[in-house]
Amino acid sequence: MSPLDVAPFGTDPWWLVLIKVVVLFVILLAWTIFNVWFERRVLGKMQNRIGPVMNSAWAGGVFQAVGDGLKLVFKEMITPKGADKFVFNLAPVIAGIACFSSWAVIPLGGRVSMFGHQTNLQVTDVPVAVLFIIAISSIGVYGIVLAGWSSAGSYSLLGALRSSASMISYEVAMGLSLVAVFMFSGTMSTSGIVTAQARPIMLGSFSTGIPGHYWLLLAPSFVIYVITMLGESNRTPFDMPECESELVSGFSTEYSGFPYGMYYLAEYINMATLSAVCVTLFLGGYRAPWPFNHLAFIDQGWWGLLWFFIKAQLVIFFFVWVRGALPRFRYDHYMQMGWKALIPISLVWVLLVALMRTAGDQGWFGSPIFVVILGVVVLALLAYLFLGGKEKPEPVATEAPFDAFAGGYPVPPLPGQSLSGTRVLSGTTEEPTPTTGATMRGEN
């Protein structure tokens, strides 16, 4: 199949396309309400919190999420003094539109019959559908950046700057992780990638019967995508643009009422979107997993909706699990991992995949010289990754004695510095101990 060929789209009547759009919109809203309740319940169980477990049980918790949404709709909208009102009100609209747009090219199921017409459970598809999703996610960042810039607040502006820096670093790594998927599937169409993963894994001339899902065949790409997926969604441990411990609420600090609800909605739909893209590109999409794929009657038609949402909900559970298990990264560590780890690893992995694909097509594996060279390169990479180590920091030479309380708060000494002398605070004498150099505080 040519990379420009896609499934037969564009033949549906306009009213059928409108029905698809409206139904998809309703599904996303209902799914968001369910995910809010789902996250409260899962975190309540993980952290042994009585409130979410008892008061958010089953239907009561779902109605609580509905009540929170209605409260935001009728709450007063406040615009801070000095803010750019037009941009301030436009920013959440951009974020809200962007979170829905990507779903136009995500396949929820195969070909079915609706109102006497044969149609796919997908609004549309294009030859570059995955690039369309990445472009829409980049536009969604404008909703955050403009919110921080127009709010006339320091915390909001810092959150917006963090979001823009995160987008630049982590979307580059995310895009590179998907290049291997394009090379294996031969297309950037979402429906074409799902179809390509349905082909069984071959061992020589023997068919294993196991679908060739790319989470297994392209494991490094899958791991990199999962990490960047967490960074792209601004969720723990990468919730830098809105971390309450540093920036109050970051870019959304000045928002209230319905605009704040738009950001809240966009966050959860964005989490569902990234999960759906993960399912589509790495987990086989709407196709039944092994061994259910051998039962033809449950691997076609409307059954695809069931498999798709089960897989997507499992990925969302992973989102919640990470939030309850991992602490927030420090910002410099977060950026360092994006630029110094994920992007170089993605580049090397793409080169290796391209080399392996070319070698397989040209028959280079039959040459012992090529096999030896490839083995040496792989061993050199492994040695660099695991045995390279880091350079030890040079000691900092200081002439004056180090004062741990110079800034009002005790700070540890840098390499090469030592605590010396006597510090007097509020009539209390503090002297360094001879063994650890730490200070001992008397009663004030």
pLDDT of residue 437: 40
CA quadruple 365, 367, 370, 371: dihedral sign: positive
**pLDDT tens figures, 292-351:** 777 777 878 888 889 999 999 999 999 999 988 888 888 788 888 888 888 888 998 888
- 428-432/439-440 β-pairing: antiparallel
**pLDDT tens figures, 352-402:** 888 888 877 777 777 788 778 878 887 887 777 677 655 665 655 545 666
In the block, which residue shows the tokens 């979410």? Answer: 52
DSSP 419: B
Give the contacts of 404 (CB within 8 A, at least 6 positions apart). Answer: 410, 411, 412, 413, 419, 423, 439
DSSP 154-221: HHHHHHHHHHHHHHHHHHHHHHHHHHHHHHHHS---HHHHHHHHTSEEEETTEEEEEE--HHHHTHHH
Spatial distance between the Cα atoms of 21 and 355, rounded to a whole number of angstroms: 42
pLDDT of residue 103: 92
From edge to edge, which strands make up the β-sheet containing 439-440?
423-425, 428-432, 439-440
Cβ neighbours around 283 below 10 Å, total: 24
Residue type (1 letter), 302: W
Cis preceding-peptide flag for 291 (omega within 30 of 0): yes
**Among candidates 108, 218, 228, 210, which has minimal Cα distance to 173?**
228
User: Is pTM beyond 0.85 here?
Assistant: no
Contact 242, 250 (CB under 8 A): yes
Spatial distance between the Cα atoms of 249 and 87, rounded to a whole number of angstroms: 19
Q: Measured between alpha carbons, how far is residue 24 from residues 105, 262, 345 in Å?
A: 12, 18, 37
pLDDT of residue 428: 47
**pLDDT tens figures, 17-63:** 899 999 999 999 889 888 988 888 888 888 877 777 666 566 556 77
pLDDT of residue 253: 81
- Which tokens sit at 132? 């369309």
Over its C-alpha atoms, the chain yields an Rg (Å, rounded) of: 27
Spatial distance between the Cα atoms of 210 and 292, rounded to a whole number of angstroms: 10
Give the contacts of 423 (CB within 8 A, at least 6 positions apart). Answer: 403, 404, 405, 429, 430, 439
Contact 97, 262 (CB under 8 A): no
- At 273, the pLDDT band (50, 70, 90 cuts) reads very high
Across the chain, what does the average pLDDT equal? 79
pLDDT of residue 55: 64
Q: Residue 432 in 3-state DSSP?
A: strand
Phi, psi dihedrals of residue 211, rounded to the nearest 5°: -60, 145
